[in-house]
Amino acid sequence: MIRLLVTTVLMATLLLTGAAPGSADQERLFRLGYLDNLGSALCRIAQLKGHFAQEGLKVALVRFGDSQGGLAALEQGNIDAGAFLVGEGLRAIAQGRGFRFVAGGGLLTATGPLAELDSRVQQQLDLSGTVVFIPATGPATEKETVTRLTAALIRAYGSSRQQPDILPLGQSGADQPITRFDPSPEYYRLERLWKRLALQSPAMPADFLANHVYEEIYCDALDRLLEDSPDDKLLQELSARAVCVPDCCPKNKNPK
């Protein structure tokens, strides 16, 4: 009888307040760190165009001056995810810090005289690209939340393609690097950078890096968006070149 009374009071309270079981998770503020550069533009576009809200997320953008500070804040739980430099992230993971890649961002490509100088110029630019990290453990790593975050960034990529002037994304000058965007964490690109930096130590298992790339999230986010918009050419293009590790989407397996 007492249990029935408590249950009745609880349900009445939920009805009066308009709350529903699980709604607290949806109302939780998700703190997304970013760098004030072009590489983090997808985060800003997703906020500007309401894509986070479309995915049921309440997001606060937190600006950082450098990746080291951002990664430290992520490690300490002061933010839930962050768009920071890929080179810094790979080195941090090699040191045993608990981060995982879930989405891509801005990639830099040398042009004009820069491209003709030395391949090392492009190598340095590769390490200055931006990717999105989450902590390996903690509430922010809940799969549903991170999938919705990634879906919002994919939507932002679509907005950047449809409306190139949505943010000041371009650079002036023939010798300036060009920033292009890719919402995929792109495991094999990360692997190439990992090898270039010689970060794989003999003590690490062969799949050490793969265990820090949560590309299944990206594939799930794409699949959801395609269910709603199966004829979307941009989503089809992204899906065709998606690579999931380890083999979470066998139909898209593409080791090269």
| pLDDT given for residue 18 in this prediction | 36
- Does residue 11 sit within a domain? no
- Does residue 213 sit within a domain? yes
Average pLDDT value for the chain? 79
Across 149-178, b (16+ Cβ under 10 Å) vs e yields bbbbbbbbbbbbeeeeebeebeeeeeeebb
| pLDDT given for residue 8 in this prediction | 40
Query: Is pLDDT of 67 > 80?
Result: yes
Instruction: Yes or no: say if 58 and 30 are a contact pair by the CB < 8 Å rule.
Output: yes
- Does residue 43 sit within a domain? yes
| pLDDT given for residue 120 in this prediction | 66
67 residue type, one letter: S
Domain count, the chain: 1
- Does residue 2 sit within a domain? no
| pLDDT given for residue 115 in this prediction | 53
- Does residue 74 sit within a domain? yes
Q: Does residue 226 or residue 25 have the better pLDDT? A: 226
Instruction: Yes or no: say if 216 and 244 are a contact pair by the CB < 8 Å rule.
Output: yes
- Does residue 10 sit within a domain? no
Domain of residue 137 covers 25-250
Query: Is pLDDT of 47 > 60?
Result: yes
192-239 per-position pLDDT tens digit:
889 988 999 999 999 999 999 988 899 999 999 999 999 999 999 999
Share of the chain above pLDDT 90, in %: 52
Instruction: Yes or no: say if 222 and 154 are a contact pair by the CB < 8 Å rule.
Output: yes
Query: Is pLDDT of 125 > 60?
Result: yes
The CATH number of whichever domain residue 49 belongs to comes to: 3.40.190.10
| pLDDT given for residue 92 in this prediction | 95
- Does residue 17 sit within a domain? no
- Does residue 160 sit within a domain? yes
